[in-house]
Every structure is written in C-alpha cells, then in structure tokens.
Chains A and B, each alone.
Chain A
Amino acid sequence: MPAVTQTREAVEKLGQSTYKWGFETDIEMDMAPKGLNEDIIRLISSRKEEPEWMLEWRLAAYKTWQAMEEPKWAKVAFPPIDYQDAHYYAAPRKKPGPRSLDEVDPELLRTYEKLGIPLHEQALLAGVEVPEGERMPVAVDAVFDSVSVATTFRKTLEEAGVIFCPISEAVREHPDLVRKYLGTVVPAGDNFFSALNSAVFTDGSFVYVPKGVRCPMELSTYFRINAKNTGQFERTLIVVEEGGSVSYLEGCTAPMRDENQLHAAVVELVAMDDASIKYSTVQNWYPGDENGRGGIYNFVTKRGACRGARSKISWTQVETGSAITWKYPSCILQGEGSVGEFYSVAVTNNHQQADTGTKMIHLGRNTRSTIIAKTISAGRSDSTYRGLVRVQPKASGARNFTQCDSLLIGDQCGAHTVPYIESRNMHARIEHEATTSKISEDQLFYCRQRGLSEEDAVGLIVNGFCRDVLKELPMEFAVEAQKLLQISLEGSVG
C-alpha cells in the first residue's frame, strides 16, 4: 500500500491520545455563575480590584458587543455559540496574584511540571532566580484560567526598568500607562471578539520597555484553560519606547473536553522610534478528538502598531492546536521606514479548521513587510491563509514580499490561499509567491531507505518545509516547536 495512503489512514486514526497536555488539574475554583451581563462584568472588575474607569471601559465595550454580530467571512464552520452558557471568570481559590511560590497551589505547580512548559526549570517558577547557566534566562508569567499565578524574574527586570506583570496588576499599579495605550491599537469595537474581550478580559500580560532599554531576557507567558465551560479572554499589551527592544513568547494548552471552549484574546503592541518587538506564539490548545468533538475555538485579535520611525514588529507563530483558529496578527506600519514581519506555521489535522494570516497596512514612506506562511494540512482538516497587504497613498517606496506554501498530507484535507492586495501608491512594490505540494512517495522512500522510520521522515520533511519560519523563533522555543510539529502529526503514518 502506498505510504501516502497509509499516512492518510493513520492520520485519521490520530485521536485524543496524542494530545499529551489533555489532563485537568483538580484545583478549587472561584467561579462566576454562567452567563454574560453587566453584573458579571462588574463582578470581574471588582474581583480584580479595578479602578472605576476600567469598569466603565468594559461596560462600554459590552454595549458595543451587544450590537455586533459574529463575523461570517472566514472559511470556518461551527454551530452557533451560546455566549450565555459559559463562565466568564474562574480563578484558583487562593488570593490572586501570589508573590511567592508558597502562595501557589501545589497542584498548579504540578500542572506546570506535567506541561513541561517553557518555564524550563521549575526552579524559575519556584522563584529561585538562577540567571547563571548556559541558557538564557526566561521570565515567565503564567496565566491559569482567568488569573495570573506567578511572574518570575521580576527583580532583574525591574532593575533594567522593564515592567512585566499581569495586566490586572498593571491596571492597578500603572494605570496611566495602561490607560494611555489600552485599546489604541485594537479598539474595543474593532470586531465582535475584540469587543467581547474588552468587556470580559480577565488576565494577560503587560510589558513596558522604557526608552533605550533592551530587555535583558526573553519574556514568556503561559496560558492554560483548565476549568470546565470557561472562556479564556486574555489581554496582552506591550509597549516599547524609543530605541528599546523585547522578545516575547506565549504558549498555550488546555485539557481535553467534549464541549468546545472559547478563547478570544486581544494582543496589542506599540513600538516607538527605532523600537523592536518580536512576538512569538506556540499555540497548542486542545484541537478536539478525531471526530471533531471538543477543542478550543481560538478567535484572536493581534495587532501591532509601528508608530515610530524605523520601528519593527515581528510576529512568529506556530499554530498546531485548537479546533478552530481565527487569527490574523497584523502590523500597522505608520512610522517612516518601519518594518513588519509575519512568519507562520499552521498545522491542521483531523477536523481542525484554521483561517489565519496577517494584515500589513503600509501608511508611512519606505515601510517594508515580509510574510512567510507555511500551511500543513492532514486528515480531513482545512486550512486557509488569508492575507491583506494594503499600501496607502502616502506610503511611497513601500515594499512587501509574501510567500505562502502549503503542504498536504493525504487527499482529504484542504489548503487555500486568499491574498488581498490593495495598492493605492504607484511607487510600491508587492511580490507574492505561492506553492502547494505534497510529501512525495519519493521523499518518504528516500528517507526510509536511509533508515528513518516513516514518522521521523514525515517529521524531518515537515520541519524542512517550515524551516524559514522556525529559524525566526528564539532558539529554545524552536526546538520545542519542532517537537510539537512532530507530535501534532504523530500517528500520521504507519
């Protein structure tokens, strides 16, 4: 039997068992009742001890949301979501925002251990600051359902002048900064899910890098949905002042459940003159089982504003999880000579659906953008790259290069490329290349003749296919992402 047939059959067999992060942690939860209304929003706000302006902002967003409808243009299909049938607040029953590990539920720590998340050493989370050693230290903020439970390396960061803390804490302790930037890149009413997020967001990270500071370490946030029937609505805001730089990574997992769970995050980035932000995501939410039951609905709005001249925002994403992914990390290239980049690997298997891509909006002169999108589809999954490159009249000398490559495993999956190009300036240069290929029998046989198992051969070929993107990830995470790619296609052969 030809290997590709086997591959396909095996992919179809790929089930829950391969999702290794699917356990649930038994922790006492403080839960808001199901449903969404003004009282729930007030409850969230009071649990977070928020100032009045924040509550008002939320309530205004809620009104906006009520008047909106779910977007229908993406190439994804799902039954109607009952927004009243979810909990909008769930927190480990402990005082929120523990300062030391002793305050963190040991069950939670065990969860992190099982996850083997990019916390690397548990010592890190345990608050033992060991910057010495071969690997670059990584500061971590871990968000569990609605609450941030531990942020490491705070002291080192504070000394450098960098603020890295849960956003709920930032709202309380750095209200001027939060107020100045929150919602300026993604306004509450931007879209249905951003409005929902603005009304009910519970936690997420806040990063502020002052003028001239290069953040001394990678920052990382780890998101986990744990409680049943909860949505996760995190909000991340990163502001880098003139000449500063930061590299930030987020990782995500969730338990296996029969019901779908909603995740609707908003991420806003602001880069001033000569500032640079590198934002990397390794998304591994539970994708659902082989019949398409369960899994996370991942409806995310991510946008960066290159406000300053020569500023740079680079999005790198490895998307392997979620039942549905709806996500278009974008750059608004306003500053003269600013640079936007989007590097993406999206893997879908079984019944997963992904509609992802980017938007590069060229406003300023000599702005440049690069888009490299790699799509891998297996099983009966369906994946769409949707990208917009828009050059506004003032953006003389703007340049874009787009490369979209799709790799199909088996013949029941689909891959689509939908580029939108709108140029309103004659002196802009836009290039677009697209390819679709299959892993060939020749390639598999060649690898196997050299002694590789079919699974390793697929892993090697897939990683080769994604290389241009993976090399953009911070070293340590690149290794993790490679493993993840292999795991998400595990059982896709023999």
Chain B
Amino acid sequence: MSQFLEISGLCAQIDADGQKKQILRGVDLSIPPGEVHVIMGPNGSGKSTLSYVLAGREEYEVTAGTATFHGQDLLAMEPEERAAAGLFLAFQSPIELPGVNNANFLRTAVNAVRRARGQDELDAVAFLKMAREAAKALSMAPDMLKRNVNVGFSGGEKKRNEVLQMTLLQPTFAILDETDSGLDVDALRIVAEGVNRLRAPTFSALVITHHQKLLDYLVPDRIHVMARGRIILSGGPELARQIDQEGYTKFLAEVA
C-alpha cells in the first residue's frame, strides 16, 4: 500500500441518450510516489474516462469501487478540490475559452490553487515573469500568453499549453491523456522535458499514450494495458516496446 494513489474496483457509467452505459468495469491501479506509470490500450477502452473520473467530471457516475489520493477519498471531492490537492489533468482535447486571456486564466488558476494550499497569491508582475519563463522553456511563442485560451491554437500549441499549465500549477499527480498525439518529434521532446522537470520523489504521473516514442524520453516505471474498462495486464517498460512492435491484439487474445 503506497497511500499515494490507490484505485480499487472502480466502475463508472454514463447516461448516453437515456441509456446507462458501463465504461469502467473494475479498474485496479496503484501508483506509488515518485513514479511514472503508463496506460496503453485500444481506442474506446476507457482510458480518458478513467482520467475524467479521477479528475471529478460529474457526467460519469461512479457505481462501485474506490479511489484515494494521499489516503483521502478522491471521489468525494469537488474537481477544484482535487486540483488544489495536487491533481492535474492534461486534456486529450483541450477546451477553448473565447475572450478569456490565457495569462489571466493561468493566473486566476494558479492563485486559486495557491489560496487553497495556503500559499500567498502572486501579483501580476511576479506571475508574468514566472509564466514567461515557463513558456520559453516549452519553446512557446510569447504571444501565446496574450491569446485567448486555446482559441485558434494548433493541435501542438494546445498540447504545449496544457504542459505550461501543468508547470505553473505544480501538481503532485499529473495525468497526461495522449498529450503526445499529433506532436512532431521536437514537440514531443519538449513536452517530455516539461514532465521530466517536475519529476521528484513526491511527484507521480499517469501517462496515457499509444506510442513508445514519448516513453523513450520519459522512462516510465510501469506499463498497464487497459481493455474494455479494466487493467488487463501490467509490466515493466519492456511491455510498451512489445506493444509498440506487435500491437494490442496478441495481449487481448491472451487475456480473453
């Protein structure tokens, strides 16, 4: 028992056009502090749903199981409380906020979690300095801070903006949902470096990906394979390489 992140028997469903649709069917997963875990799995297996449920999205109804973070009942917390507690989700499809200035959004978010964590709020000057440095480290154009949140951003810019937010919010547990999808090799490296900069004995990450490439930079501790709403297989880093070469079919057949 690591007491960092513990997920046990987690089941969740969604109301799709009046029909209850079961998506998570008993997820068991334990992530100790300081580790990077990876979830791979075919499209539609429930990876994004798991990340949403952990982050507190209300459309997904948890029907069974538990999830604790630092021993706290994660599922009883509001999304913003989870954020304040250190959970961050880099969205597979980041959301656009028309008219909302990116820097202003980031500062509001950073100060909201700082307040909740009992830290002093940052004034505009201190914040901008920090944000500019972080953006530069991610090779983001300076005007990205001035633009509206994700509006008119390219796919790659959106993903980098997620990593920028993660950097500034300083989570202790980050879920990255296919943050590498659609990125070129250079962008991939920059994003991976962004994650690596956060690595610490007190920081863990859950990385959802289809590709070995990202893992070359991230060096994960454990690989989990998800299918039909369950973790069906876990292993060391070599498992990812195997999947990358052979696909999922073999593994799915083995457990079936």
Contact = CB atoms under 8 A, between A and B. Distances in A.
A456 interface: yes
Interface stretch (B52-60, B183-191, B201-209, B217-225): B52-60
Contacts of B172: none
A446 B94 contact: yes
A460 B58 contact: no
Contacts of B56: 448-449
A452 to B, nearest CB: 5
Interface string A457-479: 00011011111100000000000
A2 B116 contact: no
B59 A441 contact: yes
A72 interface: no
B35 to A, nearest CB: 22
A145 B91 CA distance: 54
B100 A448 contact: no
**What bracket does the count of chain B residues touching chain A fall in?**
20 to 34
A283 to B, nearest CB: 21
Interface in A203-232: none
A451 interface: yes
Contacts of A456: 108, 112
B154 to A, nearest CB: 18
A464 B100 CA distance: 4
B79 interface: yes
Contacts of A401: none
A363 B78 CA distance: 57
Contact of A468 (B80, B97, B99, B116): B99
A456 B107 CA distance: 13
B113 interface: yes
Nearest to B82: A449
B109 interface: yes
A135 interface: no
A451 B98 contact: no
A446 B91 contact: yes
B138 interface: no
B118 to A, nearest CB: 13
B99 A448 contact: no
Given A2-B59, A451-B109, A451-B113, A465 B98 contact: yes
A464 B78 CA distance: 24
A460 B112 contact: no
A460 B105 contact: yes
Contact of A449 (B79, B110, B116, B148): B79
A460 B78 contact: no
A442 B92 CA distance: 12
A461 B100 contact: yes
A449 B80 CA distance: 6
B84 A451 contact: yes
A443 B98 CA distance: 10
Contact of B108 (A441, A442, A452, A466): A452
Interface string A428-464: 0000000000001111011111111110100011011
**What bracket does the count of chain A residues touching chain B fall in?**
20 to 34
B10 interface: no
A23 B222 CA distance: 63
Nearest to A466: B99
Given A443-B95, A464-B99, A448 B59 contact: no
A176 B116 CA distance: 62
B83 interface: yes
B99 A465 contact: yes
A449 B97 contact: no
Contact of B97 (A1, A443, A451, A454): A443
Contacts of B110: 451
A3 interface: yes
Contacts of A464: 97-101, 148
Nearest to A6: B58
Q: Most chain-B Cβ atoms within 10 A of its Cβ — which of A448, A461, A465? A: A448
A451 B105 contact: no
Contacts of A443: 95, 97
Nearest to A440: B95
B112 A1 contact: no
Contacts of B83: 448-451
Interface string B73-92: 00000111011100011010
Given A451-B116, A464-B148, 18 more contacts: A2-B58, A445-B57, A445-B79, A447-B97, A447-B105, A449-B56, A449-B79, A449-B83, A450-B165, A450-B169, A451-B110, A452-B80, A452-B109, A453-B80, A456-B108, A460-B108, A463-B99, A465-B99
22 contacts: A2-B59, A3-B58, A441-B58, A445-B55, A445-B79, A446-B91, A446-B94, A446-B97, A449-B56, A449-B91, A450-B105, A450-B109, A451-B109, A451-B116, A452-B108, A453-B80, A453-B112, A460-B105, A461-B100, A464-B98, A464-B101, A465-B99
